[in-house]
Chains A and B, each alone.
Chain A
Amino acid sequence: MNDETMRILSAAIGLAAVFATSTAAADTPTIRLFPTTVVEDLRQTGNVARDMETGLQEVIGKLDQQQRLYVESKCEGAENDPGCQRLARQIGASYLEMLTIMEERLPDMEHTVNNTRRSLERGLRNELGKKMTPWTLQETLVGGSAGNAANKPSPTLRGRSGMRLSERFKQYYELVATSGSRGDQSLAVLASDIYLDMQETGVLIERTRQEIARATLMEQLNQSFGIITPEMIEVVGGVKTILFGDEQGEALVAGPPPGSIEPAYRSPLER
C-alpha cells in the first residue's frame, strides 16, 4: 500500500467517522422550544419587572409608614379629625402614585410577556403537539433510560407565586439560557411551565390594568374627602404579594427516598 492509498483510506475512515457522528446526532431527538427570541423576551421581561419593583418599592414603603402612623394615631373611628383627614389624603396620594407607576410600567410588561407566550406557544404546538405522539412525548420526558432518569434532579415545576416577580423571570432566563446543557426532557417541562405562567401573568396584567383605571378614578374622588377604603389596603397588599413575594412559600415536593443505584434487571419485554 503506497502513501497515496493510505491517505485516501484514512480520509475515507475520517469521513465515515464524521458521517457516523452526524447520523448519531441526527438520531437524537432535538426539540426547538427556546429560540433566541424567547431568551431575549425573558431577559427583557425580567428587566421591566425589576424596574417596576424599584419604582414601587419606595412608594410602597411610604404607604406602609403612613398606614402605621394612621393606626398609631388612633385615626380609625376618628375620620372627622382634621389631622386624620390630612393623613388619609397623604395615604390616598401615595396610593395614586403607586397606581400611576404601575400604569406606566404595565404596558411594557404586557408586551414582553405576550411576546414570550406567543413564541412558546408556537414551539409547543409544532414541536410537542404536532410532531410528537403521546408515546414519543413520554420518551422525551423520560429521556433515554427510565432507570437513570430516576436519579436526575427534578425538573422545575410550577408554583412560584411566592417569589419576587423579577427574580422569577431572572430564574426563567437563567434556566433557558443554560438549556443547552439540559436534556430535552426538562426543556419540555420548562417550556410548558413558563408558557402556562406567561398565560396567567398576561391575564393578571390585563385585569390589573383595568382595575387600575377604575381604582384611579375612585381614589381621585376620595381625595376630596380624605377617606381610606379597605379596598386600598387590599390592593396595596396584593401588589406587594405579586411583586415582592409572600412569606409562605410553596411546600417543596419530597424527592424519592435514596435507593440502590445498581443497574436493575431489564426484561426483554421492556419497551
Chain B
Amino acid sequence: MKQTRPYALRLSGLLAAFALLGGCATPQPDCASPQSRNLDTAIDQVQAALSAGCEAYYDRYFDDLLTTAEGDPKPENRRAFSEFLLWSTDRGLLSKRQAEHYYNRYFNVKFMSLRSDYNNCAHACPNKQKVLFDMERELSDKERGLLKVTEDSNAYYRADRLFKEVELVLEATCKACAAR
C-alpha cells in the first residue's frame, strides 16, 4: 500500500506529459493552391505556405504560379519568377543550380537539356534521340514561360529555331563523328 501512491503519481505525471505533448503538436499546414488570380498576391500566398511547411509541394506551387501568370501575361512576370526563385534559394528550398534550372527551362532561349561535360561525339551522338526528345519537352515549357507567361514571342521563336539548328548540326556532326 505504501508503494501505491508514488506509482499513481508517476502514472498521472505521464498522462499529463502526453496531454501536454498533444497540445503542442504542430497542426497540419494548409497546402492548398493559391486562390488569387493576381501573380504578386499568389506569390505571397505560396511563400507563406512554403514557409509554413509545404515545401514538399514546391513543384505544384511553381506550376500554380505559372497558371496564374498565364492569366495575365506580361514581360514583368519574368522578374517576378526570378525573384521568387531567388527567395527560394535564400530560404534553402532550392539549391542555386535547381533555381537556375527552373528559371532557364521556362524563361531562357537556351536549353538546359544540353548541359553536359562531355564532347558531342562521345555524349550527344550516342544519345541523340534522347537529347532531342528532352529538348522538345523543354521547348513546350519554354512555350509556356516565354510565350504564355511573358509574351516574349521573339525569344520563343528563337528557341524554336535553336532547336531546329541543334537538330541539323547534331545530325551532320554525328554523321561526321561516325565516318572513319
Q: Which of A189, A199, A271 interacts with B100 by CB under 8 Å?
A: A271
> For the complex, what is the distance from the CA of A157 to the CA of B166, rounded to whole Å?
12
Interface centre among B75, B78, B82, B173 (most CB of A within 10 A): B173
Asked if A133 meets B121 with Cβ closer than 8 Å, knowing A146-B110, A155-B165, the reply is no
Interface bracket on B: 35 or more
Which residues of B are found within 8 Å of A185, using beta-carbon distances? 165
Say whether B169 faces chain A, with CB atoms less than 8 Å apart.
yes
B118 touches A133 (CB 8 A): yes
Number of residues from A at the complex interface, CB < 8 A: 48
Of residues 106 through 158 on chain B, the ones whose CB sits less than 8 Å from some CB of chain A are 107-111, 114-121, 123-125, 131, 152-155, 157-158
Q: Which of B82, B85, B131, B169 interacts with A141 by CB under 8 Å?
A: B169
> For the complex, what is the distance from the CA of A268 to the CA of B108, rounded to whole Å?
12
Asked if A267 meets B116 with Cβ closer than 8 Å, knowing A129-B121, A150-B155, the reply is no
> For the complex, what is the distance from the CA of A154 to the CA of B86, rounded to whole Å?
35
Say whether B175 faces chain A, with CB atoms less than 8 Å apart.
yes
Which residues of B are found within 8 Å of A131, using beta-carbon distances? 119
B168 touches A267 (CB 8 A): no
Which residues of B are found within 8 Å of A141, using beta-carbon distances? 162, 165-166, 169
Residue of B nearest to A133 (CB): B116
Mark contacts of A250-271 with chain B using CB atoms, 8 A cut-off: 1 yes-contact digit, 0 otherwise: 0000011101100011011111
> For the complex, what is the distance from the CA of A255 to the CA of B157, rounded to whole Å?
8
Say whether A68 faces chain B, with CB atoms less than 8 Å apart.
no
Which residues of B are found within 8 Å of A268, using beta-carbon distances? 82, 86
What are 20 A-to-B residue pairs whose CB atoms are below 8 Å?
A: A120-B176, A129-B119, A129-B174, A130-B177, A133-B116, A133-B124, A138-B166, A142-B110, A142-B162, A154-B161, A188-B169, A189-B165, A256-B158, A257-B157, A264-B78, A265-B75, A265-B78, A267-B79, A270-B104, A271-B104
